[in-house]
Structure 1
């Protein structure tokens, strides 16, 4: 809503989400997560603003942004393409990102891609946005679905206004994750490349929530321009269904606002219905979906 009120020397407007009112004051939360308390007696006008539909995103730009928010252990440029390798940990960290032009004919580019991954003992793999020209080009060259038994990965986005409410849990933030954070983030041993990948972004933060002294939920946020990327969200099995994942997202969103963040994205398997439902309730909507393709000569 917008609230016009008297201040010393005149009038001013505050635009944000109305969190409530107490002790004769309105509490309005701004997009940068700051909270404004306004004396009701000073209000001259207030009205709700119809919810704006989410602005369309440049999906190619967002596709690249997601890669920059979680860089691989090794990245080599092939024209505008990114060849990424991380000792085999995660598809995203061990696949070519074909955004833009490779700077050479497609057949030659694919030969370079295959050589890059074979030199590292990895299968040649491409990370493609569904229904994109790049996906069609790779498929025309015989590249096939790497995981036909898995669902699509949804990349969802929204504005920080939708997700930066005060979380119902105490969300702790740290510049570097400790052993306890990794113990919740992974079920079993931590893959050797994981710390390099997760801690490799220029601006990242690690969120955690403890209940009764036990760390039970974690997540990671990274800033790329005005985009907050959220990943590595995990809640211990015995504590799921209690709003902890949403609280992690809210805590990260409140960190991002003062950092210049205005929009946020995350990725989730379409088959993970509880997570998809929770993120939609927070205001996330689908931007695009992706899959991995592998070379026919893998």
Structure 2
């Protein structure tokens, strides 16, 4: 079967094969599995299609699907589901999140949709929610969107003026799921080694609840010289793979380890129906941004945290 092998798993292929009646037909999709007897193609709608190798007439890899325009409103909500907070409440459709102060995303309001109240009244409820928990009021607001202007008009100010914008990037999954250059272990639960590689010092108390909270989560790691030197976390929300907690030991950077971890997570997500992927990065993190854009990620939107002091 010239042109296709096990190394093409995770990439788009076209396979011409004979049906029982003798007619030939083409199947296009992502190569899901490949062995001595069969290969399995996953269509764009995630339907698997198994083909016996003796029926194959021809097969070859084909370029990835063009990157389609993203629904930024859907993605804005998806990012919250991929990393759920320890505690949540709603003001109308606004999502209030609290997790003991660990990370801005897990301790801020996501002002998406209709709060069911005048904006100023909803903002007061947001303030009260966080002050009751001893946390600073935070709103994750997309730059250039009406809620950003509404909050600033009520006296909310930049919570982190010393930091650059946070960028939410996205791409098609088969832009990312190439063969990793290193062996990547993907586990359903993180162990002590994973957490030790993901954090400097003690693991924040809220971290396990937040990171292990989604119904479908995976924890990737790469081991070199007898220890874990690179990690990343993935979560599935619908057909979206969210990636975060990407960290490489400083002594092992610039070796493609972050890329390998992302590719390992992308290959985990494919059989679960993954079709697209997103991640977040601060604009000032030039190294990470170069890695991600090199894998085909592009900006969907950017945001900042606003606070009421």
Shared fold (TM-score greater than 0.5)?
yes
**Where do residues 217-256 of structure 1 align in structure 2 (5 Å cutoff)?**
217-256=230-269
Residue 164 of structure 2 corresponds to residue 151 of structure 1: yes
CA distance in 2, matches of 1:57, 1:174: 29
- So what's the TM-score if we normalise by structure 1? 0.88
Taking the aligned partners of 2:119 and 2:80, their CA distance within structure 1 comes to 22
Structure 2 counterparts to residues 25-64 of structure 1, below 5 A: 43=57, 52-64=65-77
- What CA distance in whole angstroms lies between the structure 1 residues aligned with 2:89 and 2:59? 56
- Determine if the alignment matches structure 1 residue 270 to structure 2 residue 259: no
Query: CA 1:35 to 1:79, structure 2 compared with 1: closer, same or farther past 3 Å?
Result: same
Query: In structure 1, what is the Cα distance between the partners aligned to 2:252 and 2:77?
Result: 34
* Residue of structure 2 equivalent to 1:179: 192
| 2-structure distance, mates of 1:199, 1:187 | 19
Structure 2 distance, partners of 1:45, 1:35, is 14
CA distance in 2 between partners of 1:129 and 1:88 (Å): 21
Corresponding position of 2:14: 2
Alpha-carbon distance in 1 for matches of 2:61, 2:225: 42
1:213 to 226, 234, 251: 226
1:11 equivalent among 16, 20, 24:
24
TM-score calculated relative to the size of structure 2: 0.85
What's the offset of the Cα at 1:61? 1.1
Within 1, Cα distance between the matches of 2:100 and 2:52?
54
SS at match of 1:184: helix
What is the aligned partner in structure 2 of residue 82 from structure 1? 95
Q: CA RMSD in A?
A: 2.8
Return 8-17 or 151-160, whichever deviates more. Answer: 8-17
3-state SS of 1:165 partner: coil
Say yes or no: does 1:127 pair with 2:135: no
State the alpha-carbon separation in 2 of the partners of residues 231 and 187 from structure 1.
16
Change (3 A) 1:199 1:39: closer
Identify which of 150, 153, 156 aligns with 1:137.
150
For structure 2, the residue ranges without an aligned partner over 5 or more in a row are 1-12, 32-38
Distance (whole Å) between structure 1 residues aligned to residue 250 and residue 300 of structure 2 = 29
Structure 1 gap segments, 5+ residues each: 19-26
Instruction: Work out whether residues 220 and 233 of structure 1, in 8 Å CA contact, stay in contact via their aligned partners in 2.
Output: yes
Change (3 A) 1:156 1:38: farther
Q: 3-state DSSP class of the match of 2:89?
A: strand
CA distance in 1, matches of 2:172, 2:207: 28
CA-to-partner distance for each residue in 1:103-122, whole Å, 9 max, x for gaps?
Answer: 11111111111110100011
Distance 2:175 2:164 in 1: 27
- How many residue pairs were aligned? 290
1:128 and 1:91, CA in 2 relative to 1: closer, same or farther beyond 3 A?
A: same
